[in-house]
């Protein structure tokens, strides 16, 4: 994994702006601690920070095909089918100077142009400057696992893996308008694809590319899910899911640096770990290294609707059954507090507070011994594991099912801000646009039609913030996280599996559980869904409460340019939790959001428009 950035300008000579390009590149040092480089021409500048994973010695970037290049590439990602593509391109006459997947992407562009992304299987976001066509392509993977932001200025485009790279250029200013406020306060749990929060900042949407020429900037879709009848019976469906997942995990074990898996004791991460262990055994390699996260006193915390069980007993069962080299990372209160600033800088926006902080600390510990980690992310979205898939009221609601019956932080906005932002209308319109994007199946009605809608909402509105969180927090410590359940082949197959086969006998994720049942102990295979753990940290809550009181007594606190000061004061005085941006129950989530918004407005010097 890496960080990419750059600048296209049709009027300025960018060779005179090397210092700015290097500053943009330098902001991404955490994403690429191993090497860096820039490439400059009159109209195009590309910067790159490298985390070396494949071909450590030969994968330097930005990469050119020759000394007098036809194209220049800055690439962030991993291709899991690069060996097959390399062979195919070799037969077409291409000669390779390195073993890296980066060179495969460059030569795929030289051979197929903007059709190249259709052939790629992996996680990627890249920029290629086509010298011949005087054209920039910005490309993002099928599900948007790797980020890529862009800003159109008067005479060109700025871009970067993270907003901080674009912010390092004086042509872009940190500003927040009504739509950005709505995204932060009304839709933090269902963000709009392509919206970059800052005014004038966009993201290349998943499965899309952006084509930039002197006369136009336009976005083009190269991939989307397609609906068609599923004709396989239950046994064939189960066997196909198992075969696709096993092949995906084996492909994603490819690495020239130490690799591990993240193990929570749920069926998703345990299945990935077991398949990785089996693949390593076939290859004559050693045991899989695994990591989990825990908190002091977590076993004393009562279960709730989101955290139905504690991880530790299930982690132990999986470790003993599979035979892994396991480390449980225990995160104390004070460490969570210390990580807050690092997480804010990693995400460039308010996030999920202590849940981000604990993930950062887990990843920091993992990075001490591994550079790559495999995660079970996206299984619930793909197989229907979340409670809202099984809640009749949530399914019937005329909104995003996970927002049914919940109050968002938009409830705290000042009356004049609410009047401009119109959070309820913004959310309703976002929901309508999302439903319009669902690939329909002719003749599908009733429950199957609604379930298809909810799966699409889960994949396009619920999953993206989870993937963004994992990418930004992991890359802040130079750790690459791979997500086998996001493989497009698996997605395309499972998308069309009917609900009765996905949830046989009403069992959440029954298809996945049955497909991997022989790999795991029964208590892990049949464990109910249990969300990412939040800490029972008493001191964390006390410190946040004290900071909120400091904000209330500060007449110049910028958060109260947006939020109603008296509404916050009353809620805290009465002991009522503030509305949280998260759907998982957490009494401190809303307080965390309030404090983070203030910290973000100050740290990034955000102007309100």
| Pairing of the two strands 480-482 and 325-330 | unpaired
Within 13 Å and on the Cβ side, how many CA atoms surround 500?
6
Q: What is the 3-state secondary structure (H, E, C) of 217-257?
A: EEEEECCCCCCCCCCCCHHHHHHHHHHHHHHHHHHHCCCCC
- Beta bridge partner(s), residue 75: 126
Beta-carbon contacts of residue 450 (< 8 Å; ≥ 6 apart): 395
What is residue 208's three-state secondary structure?
strand
CB-based burial of residue 328 (10 Å sphere; 0-12 exposed, 13-18 middle, 19+ buried)?
middle
Can 260 be counted among the known catalytic residues? no
Using CA atoms, how far residue 302 sits from 228, 298, 299, 312, 529, in Å, is 44, 9, 8, 14, 16
Q: Which strand (E) or helix (H) includes residue 8?
A: strand 2-9
Beta-carbon contacts of residue 551 (< 8 Å; ≥ 6 apart): 557, 559, 560, 594, 595, 598
Give 39-59 as a DSSP string.
EE-SSEEEEEEE---SSTTT-
E strands, 268-387, where?
289-294, 325-330, 372-374
Alpha-helical (H) ranges within 101-162 are: 101-112
What is residue 575's three-state secondary structure?
coil
- Beta bridge partner(s), residue 161: none
Within 13 Å and on the Cβ side, how many CA atoms surround 532?
20
Q: Which strand (E) or helix (H) includes residue 318?
A: helix 311-322
Distance in angstroms (rounded) separating the CA atoms of residues 343 and 595: 13
Q: What DSSP character marks residue 609?
A: -
Q: Which of 538, 555, 533, 550 is nearest to 595 (CA)?
A: 550
Beta-carbon contacts of residue 41 (< 8 Å; ≥ 6 apart): 14, 15, 129, 131
152 and 3 in contact (C-beta within 8 Å)?
A: no
Distance in angstroms (rounded) separating the CA atoms of residues 149 and 194: 8
Q: Which strand (E) or helix (H) includes residue 149?
A: strand 149-153
Distance in angstroms (rounded) separating the CA atoms of residues 135 and 129: 6
Q: Which strand (E) or helix (H) includes residue 138?
A: strand 135-140
Phi-psi category of residue 603: left, alpha or beta, with phi > 0 → left and psi -120 to 50 → alpha: alpha
Could you say which of 2, 30, 260, 486 is catalytic? Answer: 2
Active site residues: 2
């Amino acid at each position: 994994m890496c960080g990419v950035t750059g600048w296209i300008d049709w009027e300025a000579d960018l060779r005179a702006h090397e210092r700015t390009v290097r500053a943009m590149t330098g902001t991404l040092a955490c994403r690429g601690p191993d090497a860096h480089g820039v490439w400059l021409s009159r109209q195009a500048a590309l910067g790159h920070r490298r985390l070396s994973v494949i071909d450590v010695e030969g994968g330097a970037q930005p990469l050119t095909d020759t000394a007098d290049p036809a194209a220049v590439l800055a690439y962030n990602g991993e291709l899991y089918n690069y060996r097959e593509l390399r062979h195919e391109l070799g037969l077409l006459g291409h000669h390779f100077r390195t073993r890296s997947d980066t060179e495969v992407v460059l030569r795929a562009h030289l051979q197929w142009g903007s059709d190249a992304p259709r052939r790629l299987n992996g996680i990627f976001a890249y920029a290629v400057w086509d010298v011949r066509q005087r054209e920039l392509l910005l490309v993002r993977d099928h599900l948007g696992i790797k980020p890529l932001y862009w800003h159109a200025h008067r005479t060109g485009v700025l871009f970067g893996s993270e907003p901080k790279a674009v912010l390092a250029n004086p042509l872009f200013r940190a500003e927040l308008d009504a739509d950005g406020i709505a995204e932060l306060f009304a839709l933090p749990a269902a963000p709009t694809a392509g919206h970059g929060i800052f005014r004038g900042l966009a993201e290349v949407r998943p499965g899309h590319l952006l084509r930039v020429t002197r006369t136009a900037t336009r976005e083009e879709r190269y991939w989307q899910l397609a609906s068609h009848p599923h004709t396989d019976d239950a046994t064939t469906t189960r066997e196909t899911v198992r075969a696709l997942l096993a092949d995906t995990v084996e492909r994603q074990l490819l690495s020239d640096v130490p690799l591990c898996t993240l193990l929570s004791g749920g069926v998703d991460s345990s299945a990935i770990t077991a398949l990785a262990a089996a693949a390593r055994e076939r290859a004559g390699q050693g045991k899989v290294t695994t990591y989990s996260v825990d908190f002091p006193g977590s076993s004393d915390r009562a279960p709730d609707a989101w955290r139905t069980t504690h991880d530790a007993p299930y982690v132990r069962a999986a470790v003993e059954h599979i035979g892994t080299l396991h480390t449980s990372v225990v995160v104390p209160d004070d460490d969570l507090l210390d990580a807050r600033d690092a997480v804010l800088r990693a995400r460039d926006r308010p996030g999920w507070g202590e849940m981000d902080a604990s993930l950062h600390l887990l990843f920091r510990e993992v990075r001490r011994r591994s550079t790559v980690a495999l995660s079970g992310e996206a299984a619930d979205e793909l197989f229907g594991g979340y409670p809202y898939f099984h809640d009749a009221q949530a399914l019937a609601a005329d909104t995003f099912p996970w927002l049914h019956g919940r109050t968002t932080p938009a409830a705290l906005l000042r009356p004049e801000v609410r009047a401009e932002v119109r959070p309820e209308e913004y959310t309703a319109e976002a929901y309508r646009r999302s439903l319009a994007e669902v690939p329909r199946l002719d003749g599908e009605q009733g429950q199957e039609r609604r379930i298809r809608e909810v799966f699409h909402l889960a994949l396009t509105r619920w999953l993206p913030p989870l993937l963004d969180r994992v990418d930004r927090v992991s890359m802040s410590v130079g750790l690459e996280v791979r997500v086998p359940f996001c493989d497009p082949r698996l997605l395309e197959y499972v998308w069309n599996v009917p609900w009765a086969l996905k949830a046989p006998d009403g069992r959440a994720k029954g298809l996945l559980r049955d497909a991997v049942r022989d790999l795991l102990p029964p208590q892990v295979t049949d464990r109910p869904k249990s969300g990412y753990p939040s800490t029972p940290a008493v001191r964390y809550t006390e410190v946040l409460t004290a900071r909120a009181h400091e904000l209330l007594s500060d007449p110049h606190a910028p958060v109260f340019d947006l939020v109603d000061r008296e509404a916050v004061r009353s809620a805290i005085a009465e002991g009522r939790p503030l509305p949280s941006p998260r759907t998982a129950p957490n009494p401190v989530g809303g307080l965390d959001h309030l404090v983070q918004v203030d910290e973000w407005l100050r740290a990034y010097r955000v102007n309100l428009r």
